[in-house]
Structure 1
Amino acid sequence: MPNKQTICQDIRDMLNSGQLRAGMKIPSHRELSRKYCVAIATVTRAINELKSEGVVESVRGVGTTIAVPDPAAVPPERPDVALLNAGNDSNNHILTYAVNEIFIGSPWKVVNYNACANLKWYANFLRECHNCAHAGMILPVISPNVFAYTPDMLPPPNSKVVLLGGELPGCNFDVVRSNPFGEGLLIGDYLVSRAFRSVLYITPSPEGEQPESETLRGLALVLNRNQLAFDSTRIRRYRDEYSYGATPDPIRAAVEFTVALAEREPMPDVIVAGHDWVAIGVIRALRQCGFRVPEDVSVISAEKGCGHELNFVTQKLTTFDNLYYHQARVAAELLMERLKGDDSPIQHHQIHGMMIPGETSR
């Protein structure tokens, strides 16, 4: 049954999401009592708690409104530009280098915050930024399969933020991302050019997740047009339980899944992995099961996101390069313009990548 905390949290959530703004009147005690099916005394206790927090205030002749912040009490804006990366640090140096190239010599210092796959730290950092914003932020977005952004983590509506890779729920910020449909077309062209007869796609992402579903749509379009069967029966999905946490390991789940897969069904000519870490896990599993790469099974990655260091633990990987360096540069250019006062409509940019042939595909 709803209680005063339910009422308090709902009002905080509406304030954080922008549904309520400073100076707006909230429903009367009687209306809230009917809405939540609680006594008016319960509503009164909830409103008093919000008053003590400075969330609402009573205005004579108006009622209870969302409090207008005292400018002197608002924490000062931090003078730095935050580059926040939630995952492992394999491509962190690429993003940092690209952003620093744009901001060098500017009034804003770029500070890199790397969560190193610690999602609890990442969530707490976002909550801190929500209450005391940086001058600007470049924020690579985590898949909803892995992380849920709650209203108290989202940047305030007027923040100078550029998102990399995806959008945030309820937010309207500039976005820079790859072109996933075009990526699928180019991967399909590569597979057709190599005359592969059978394809299997392995990914930890759930069905329908964006942007990967667009990659799969483009891939299917090219393959089916060239009489190379590819539909949902050629996709294998697994749950990744190891990539985040105290000892993150983005390869382990792919190894375990592919070993089990190889034991129960024949392997295709080529396996397309959702991204580099999956591809490395697939290769390790195939070798463990006695397959040779690429002689018996070719392996390619649908997304290059791990940097060059993986070439030291396996053959040079055949991969689709999403050009993260260029994405980060575009994001930095956008953010610089916003910081200089550009208030033009929100922009969405797509960067077209390219196939990088390697030693894991025949």
Structure 2
Amino acid sequence: MKNFSDSEVRWGILGVGNVCEVKSAPAMNHIPNCKLVAVMRRNAAKAQDYASRHGVGKWYSDAQALIDDPEVNAIYIATPPDAHLELTRMAAAAGKPVYVEKPMARNHAECLEMIDICEKANVPLFVAYYRRALPHFVKIKELMGQGAIGAVRTVHINMRQIVEPEIITKLENNWRVIPEIAGGGYFYDLASHQLDLLDFFFGKITHTSGFCGNQAKAYEVEDIVVGSFVFEDGVFGTGNWCFSSSQSAEIDEVVIDGDKGQIRFATFGKGEFTLIQDGKEPQLCQFELPKHIQQPLIQSIVDELLGDGLCPSTGISGARANWVMGELIKVRVSSPTAEV
């Protein structure tokens, strides 16, 4: 990594949309030796409005102008995935570290290109898989490392959601179901977090296969994915994602089975999990989540840039989630037309 000689990380953000309202950007002003100094949106009025509401001194409607700002020494790319590759190229060319939203890109090939660009420019590349730094997930990893549920055998993801009415009425503005922008549908948006979290727990997935389809026909991209995978440490896993379920069947659950117990949690729920150990009563473990949910991960990025730690979510790890998702949706199975 190029020597980060500054004693303060001064962020410029490309694309201050919803994710920057509470989840990420405000955290930058709550971390020592770190601040948000400039924001950008193509819509100048929206960029100015964000800067005004959040007390940011500078705003731009041109990405290159923000990147070239000498006060900005680190770039956060918070746009939809279709812009990640090109904006990473521009930031790396300016020699500035890159923090990019998830999923890292539209496909694995773009992820690899982003990694190569940053390596050649000698700048670090981080990805916003912030669950790697949240306290309850860090604790789960710690417990498994201590043998709390024995040798881990399997992990199972089960996710079912309904088709929200606004998905249909505002379809043309919903980039999450436009593969040219997002890479895939809600599977890419949500499963990327889950698969990356399991990578954090068990290492990379080495073998995977799956099927996808479009059952509800609410939009063109896949709305159901099923698959199986094997991790490098020998843990076997399965996933079942359905985005056209009934409301009564909605679920967000990950179950990790060991030979001496089990851990259950919701990926997108509260900061809690249930620990079940053989011969003991189930234990609900609860943790307080930060108001700005990305703050612990951004803290780790600042620590790494200032030479005082390492960030657990890099371009290399982030690319692996894209590879797995791409493999899981390789085979698309046609479904009969179904009404939503």
TM-score (norm 1): 0.34
Which has the larger Rg? 1
Flag the structure with more relative contact order, 1 or 2, with Cα contacts below 8 A and sequence separation at least 6.
2
Give the TM-score of the pair, scaled to structure 2.
0.35
